[in-house]
Amino acid sequence: MIQLLVWSVAICGWGSAQLLGCATTMSLSERTHQSAFCQKAPSKKLRVLVYNVLKGNLSNKIARDIRYYNPDIALLQEVDNKTKRSRLEKQSKLLAKKLKMYGFYAPSYRVDKGSTGQAILSRFPFKDKVVIKMPKSRNMGALATILWQNKKMVLVSTHFSSTYKPWVSHIRTSRKSRVKEARHMLEVLKKYPHTTLLGGDFNASSESLPLRILRKSLLYAGPFLPTYPASWPFMSLDHLFITSDICITRTHIGKKGVSDHRPVVFELGLRKK
């Protein structure tokens, strides 16, 4: 419970209203992502899943959760690779095989004799695969490109720094880290001026400074509903950003699965002019 309080303070601020589920930011979040919705129905739709699968879970349980939503693209965080806690599984490869998708894994940091990081699963073959490195920090994301409707599309799965200690100094440091990560992410994306989906666990609410920085260049696609903790979600940590040539037709929070986060499902298409 103390950890939840720390996260709420770090993500939403010190005010009592924010501690009650970040309530003051919800209406703002809802308004800011309205422009991401389609005004006209797209001819084809793409289903995208954003899901922090929780490090330490086994691939068969994670695959069961993902399969339920039948996504075309899955942007995953906290995917293990050859860790003892996950029975030495190469999870991105196993998930890709189990779900009959293409997979790409970007390690974030070494842990438990292996690593944990971000992964992208896709029903479309990858053209490029890049590990996004943060200077003097852990790797912060996986980037891959695909072709969809004859357009090059950039897919990014990211995991921003978390707040996990009840110390004022740590809260301040983690907030600053997320701001740096947001700015660095935009610098990376400048090299890829294409249709873009940026999703992941940002460990921040939609009205936090890091996400406001991202909204300078990308549209916030949502959700405006809480995703964490899975059993009683009251914090919105998991988000999707898109370029203006994409629009959202539907978004919803998934049911509680094997993770401590709820999965988020987006249906989107190319925006009609």
> Could you report the per-residue pLDDT of 45-103, keeping only the tens digit for each?
999 999 999 999 999 999 999 999 999 999 999 999 999 999 999 999 999 999 999 99
Q: What is the pLDDT at residue 115?
A: 97
HSE-CB at 163 with a 13 A cutoff on CA atoms is 30
Give strand pairing partners of 130. Answer: 143
Q: What is the pLDDT at residue 29?
A: 47
Q: What is the pLDDT at residue 163?
A: 86
Q: Comparing 33 with 227, which gets the higher pLDDT?
A: 227
- The secondary structure of residue 67, as a DSSP letter, is H
Q: What is the pLDDT at residue 159?
A: 97
With 50 as the cut, is the pLDDT of residue 27 above it? no
Q: How confident is the model at residue 8 (pLDDT cuts 50, 70, 90)?
A: low
With 60 as the cut, is the pLDDT of residue 1 above it? no
Residues 6 or more apart whose Cβ sits within 8 Å of residue 266: 47, 48, 49, 50, 221, 222, 240, 248, 250, 251
Q: What is the pLDDT at residue 16?
A: 31
Q: What is the mean pLDDT of the chain?
A: 89
Q: Comparing 94-103, 137-146, 161-170, 263-272, which segment has the lowest mean pLDDT?
A: 161-170
Residues 6 or more apart whose Cβ sits within 8 Å of residue 229: 4, 235, 260, 261
What mean pLDDT comes out for the span 222-249? 94
Structure tokens at 75: 């942007």
For residue range 154-192, list pLDDT tens digits in order: 999 999 999 888 888 988 999 999 999 999 999 999 999
Give strand pairing partners of 52. Answer: 77
CA quadruple 32, 33, 37, 39: dihedral, nearest 10: 0
- In 3D space, the residue among 167, 219, 168 whose CA is nearest the CA of residue 198 turns out to be 219
HSE-CB at 214 with a 13 A cutoff on CA atoms is 34
Q: Comparing 64-68, 106-110, 120-124, 135-139, which segment has the lowest mean pLDDT?
A: 135-139
What mean pLDDT comes out for the span 219-248? 94
Q: What is the pLDDT at residue 167?
A: 87
